[in-house]
Amino acid sequence: MTLLTKGMGAIIKSVKPKLTKGESIKVWGQKLRGKFKKKLEESGESIDKVITSTNKLIQKVEGKPITKSGFSKGKDLKTKPKTKTKHYYPPKDF
């Protein structure tokens, strides 16, 4: 590992991989990528649970029927009648 000091802190320039006996850099990188993907997936699942529970709470507060996913497609909602919009046209001698 190479360190460059700049001001009060140290900046890491490069890190050499810690390889086991007979392991190449390519294999080491693939293992590292797999570990990263697994951790990312686990954190994504926990975030999804929080989002779902938050959406359910919002549905409860708004008085809408609570769904399993916390998301309503709007099938049970009543549609409002459409109102006509009035267009303003300037007078012809404008």
CA 5, 6, 9, 15 torsion: positive or negative? negative
**Parent domain of 56:** 28-71
Q: Is 43 among the domain residues?
A: yes
Q: Is 80 among the domain residues?
A: no
Which tens digit of pLDDT belongs to each residue from 71-91?
777 776 677 777 777 777 777
Q: Is 38 among the domain residues?
A: yes
pTM, two decimals, is 0.43
Q: Is 18 among the domain residues?
A: no
**What is the number of domains present in the chain?**
1
Which tens digit of pLDDT belongs to each residue from 21-74?
777 778 878 888 888 898 888 888 888 888 888 988 988 898 888 888 877 777
Where is pLDDT greater, at 23 or 94? Answer: 23
